[in-house]
Amino acid sequence: MKTIKLNNGIEMPQIGYGVYQVSPDECERCVSDALKTGYRMIDTAQAYHNEEGVGRAVKSSGINRSDIFIVSKVWISNYGYEKAKASIDDSLRKLQTDYIDLMLLHQPFCDRYGAYRALEDAYREGKLHAIGVSNFYPDHLIDLASNVDIVPAVNQVETHVFNQQTEAQKIMEEFGTHIMSWGPLAEGRNNLFSNETLTKTGNSHGKSVAQIALRWLIQRGVIIIPKSVHIERMKQNLDIFNFELSDEEMAEIATLDTGKSLFFDHHDAETTKLFMSWR
């Protein structure tokens, strides 16, 4: 399994399995399948309401806890120092573990400084082995990374062939923060699975469109967490380390960038209001 060394020396797998929109009932089965398939990193969040399913699957897998890398995220309704601190303990309980490998702040809204200080203290206590953020675009990341003791190890942002985040990635690198993609397959939006360039490239390597889209991110050094509830797709998404895209192919896929989100614009007033309704 290819790993990425984070800014505190911790190694994390470059590919993992994401469980957003996997129902609490189905989560245990999906994570068990993912672990059987060979995934060793699982990405969940308080807001997905399925940390218990992840915990049960990890526990029953028979795999050493130290061989599985668990990522979770603190939701904005738990921001502020005291609430975030209590929510970390709650996540540990639901995940049935003494430590979480990487804990992120899920969104750049509300009392994120109070919440981040809770992550820092839990890191110092050994409850979290690495800490970071998610959806922090350059303005928010620069602000936070410049004003905390422990620079975020990771920033998980929407990153796929249609929203490539190349400039944002450079800024993260300036701070020693590693880019992690959510939505590496763009959830299939913008007809990703029938895209002409990706289909043509896939045909020349005997690989699927999904494998090309994921391989392109891997070659840029991005950490990825594709989600599928189907075991055959889980296998397919992991089977991307036995071929390489050429410089020309990388460059051609780079032209698919629209520089825009297919989901949320975190700087849009209506989006911000929507997040406030989820506090």
Instruction: Confirm or reject binding of residue 152 to ligand NAP (CB under 6 A).
Output: no
Residue 185 CA, distance from chain mean position: 12
Single residue of 41, 145, 186, 238 touching ligand NAP by CB under 6 A: 186
**The one segment of 83-91, 110-118, 186-194, 198-206 that binds ligand NAP by CB under 6 A:** 186-194
| Contact between 231 and ligand NAP per CB under 6 A | no
Task: Name the pairing type of β-strands 3-5 and 154-158.
Answer: unpaired
Q: What angle do CA 204, 157, 4 make, to 5 degrees?
A: 70
Q: Which of 123, 228, 256, 266 binds ligand NAP (CB under 6 A)?
A: 228
Instruction: Give yes or no for residue 159 binding ligand NAP (CB under 6 A).
Output: no
Distances (CA, A) of 270 to 183, 190, 275, 276: 22, 22, 9, 10
Pairing of strands 17-18, 154-158: unpaired
Active-site residue, selected from the candidate residues 39, 48, 123, 137:
48
CB of 279 vs ligand NAP, minimal distance in Å: 16
Say whether residue 156 binds ligand NAP (CB under 6 A). Answer: yes
> Of these, 46, 78, 91, 134, which contacts ligand NAP (CB under 6 A)?
134
Q: For the chain, what's the residue count?
A: 279
Report the alpha-carbon distance of residue 121 to residue 2 in Å, rounded: 30
Rounded Cα distance, 40 and 63, in Å: 9
In the complex with ligand NAP, the residue whose CB is nearer, 150 or 192, is 192
CA distances from 38 to 144, 202, 222, 223 (A): 35, 23, 19, 16
Query: DSSP label at 15?
Result: B
- Please report, as residue ranges, which positions from 71 to 110 form the binding site for ligand NAP (by CB under 6 A): 106
Is residue 38 involved in binding ligand NAP (CB under 6 A)? no
Nearest residue to ligand NAP, by Cβ distance, number only: 18
- 113 classed as catalytic: no
Q: Does 202 bind ligand NAP (CB under 6 A)?
A: no
Residue 160 near residue 186 (C-beta atoms within 8 A): yes
- The answer to whether the annotation marks 178 as part of a ligand binding site is no
* Out of 70, 227, 245, 266, the residue judged to bind ligand NAP by CB under 6 A: 227
Burial of 211 (0-12, 13-18, 19+ CB in 10 A): buried
Q: Is residue 239 near ligand NAP by the rule CB under 6 A? A: no
Positions that interact with ligand NAP (CB under 6 A):
18-21, 43, 106, 134-135, 156, 182-188, 193, 208, 210, 225-230, 233, 236-237
Annotated binding residues, as ranges?
106
| Residues recognised as catalytic | 48
